Structure 1
């Protein structure tokens, strides 16, 4: 039989642990938001660069035109980026439900990039930014970087690890 004091002690420990986790999540969220604001200070929210390009599959993309139909998730990444290997599967899931365009930064030739995508089984549309010119136009210095563009304006910007719920949340709010 459990003593009443023992169950109160366990309950108070669980509540204390839950409180600490909640505090850490709030601090992490605030820190992450502040970091995103600081990193995005040089990125204009309107008058965005005109990204018209061809995907590896030969399909033309026009980010600004697409953004007037629905929000577009624009994902800057690289095959060489370790964090991108955790974010890209979520972007692939998002691409099955939303307009997504990805820009592979400095990731080699079209053939090499196509082999990488096939190996990873990614189906998202990819623009190969072999020399990093597109990423420079968007002032992207960190990978991965995700932007949500709606009606020709930058609605959300984040860099580093982003979860699938975080991507969904940003797309729904755009």
Structure 2
């Protein structure tokens, strides 16, 4: 009898939702306002306008050059929106995003920034162990993240083709969310 009740539950719940959808609008609105408030608080220090530039030690495919210069890297992708993905090797949410970032980097220019994860050799080891083929700037002391107004990871900053910061997200961002933000920055 309990199994039959469990089988009927989704149908009852959906029927109730259809019949009482107006009563759920307040809950949805409250959720959206709470989400917007948390997002605004998390990104309150992110500068608007032109993205800060930086040079940092490198890891990943470009590690042979020793350093990576953000302005030069961005200039090597003319007319394209680019993403900066701030992450740390000790961050479990960052690990959850790894596959999404790898897939995004096949279609869009992505520069990852390893925040407070050690020196270039250590980060290179992490990238190799996790089989991540990311162009990575090393932010050993967190100063690059601070210039972007970020205090936690993971974070995604989308910079348009004119060098303007268009989006900043802190916390988990879905792959579709990353793609839509890059597309929006590229298109509009």
With the shorter chain as reference, the TM-score category is 0.7 to 0.9
Is 2:122 aligned against 1:112? yes
**1:62 shift after superposition:** 2.5
Corresponding residue of 1:162: 173
Corresponding residue of 1:152: 163
**1:101 shift after superposition:** 0.5
RMSD of Structure 2 on Structure 1 (CA): 2.9
* C-alpha distance in 1 between matches for 2:91 and 2:10: 43
- For residue 55 of structure 1, give the secondary structure of its aligned residue in structure 2: strand
* C-alpha distance in 1 between matches for 2:184 and 2:84: 15
- For residue 103 of structure 2, give the secondary structure of its aligned residue in structure 1: helix
Task: Rate the CA distance shift 1:26–1:118 in 2: closer, same or farther, 3 A.
Answer: farther
Structure 1 stretch displaced more, 34-43 or 102-111: 34-43
Indicate which of 38, 49, 54 corresponds to 1:46.
49
Any conservation in 2 of the 1:67–1:152 contact (CA below 8 Å)?
A: no
* C-alpha distance in 1 between matches for 2:81 and 2:170: 18
Task: Rate the CA distance shift 1:27–1:90 in 2: closer, same or farther, 3 A.
Answer: farther
**1:111 shift after superposition:** 1.7
Aligned residues: 166
**1:120 shift after superposition:** 0.9
The ranges of structure 1 where at least 4 consecutive aligned residues each deviate by more than 4 angstroms after the TM superposition are 9-12, 22-30
Corresponding residue of 1:131: 141
Task: Rate the CA distance shift 1:54–1:159 in 2: closer, same or farther, 3 A.
Answer: same
- For residue 114 of structure 1, give the secondary structure of its aligned residue in structure 2: helix
Q: Which runs of 5+ in 2 are unaligned?
A: 1-8
Task: Rate the CA distance shift 1:97–1:108 in 2: closer, same or farther, 3 A.
Answer: same
Corresponding residue of 2:184: 173
* C-alpha distance in 2 between matches for 1:80 and 1:110: 15
Any conservation in 2 of the 1:36–1:157 contact (CA below 8 Å)?
A: no
Q: Which runs of 5+ in 1 are unaligned?
A: 1-8
* C-alpha distance in 1 between matches for 2:131 and 2:43: 31
Task: Rate the CA distance shift 1:145–1:31 in 2: closer, same or farther, 3 A.
Answer: same
**1:108 shift after superposition:** 1.1
Any conservation in 2 of the 1:72–1:99 contact (CA below 8 Å)?
A: yes
* C-alpha distance in 2 between matches for 1:168 and 1:28: 24
**1:77 shift after superposition:** 0.8
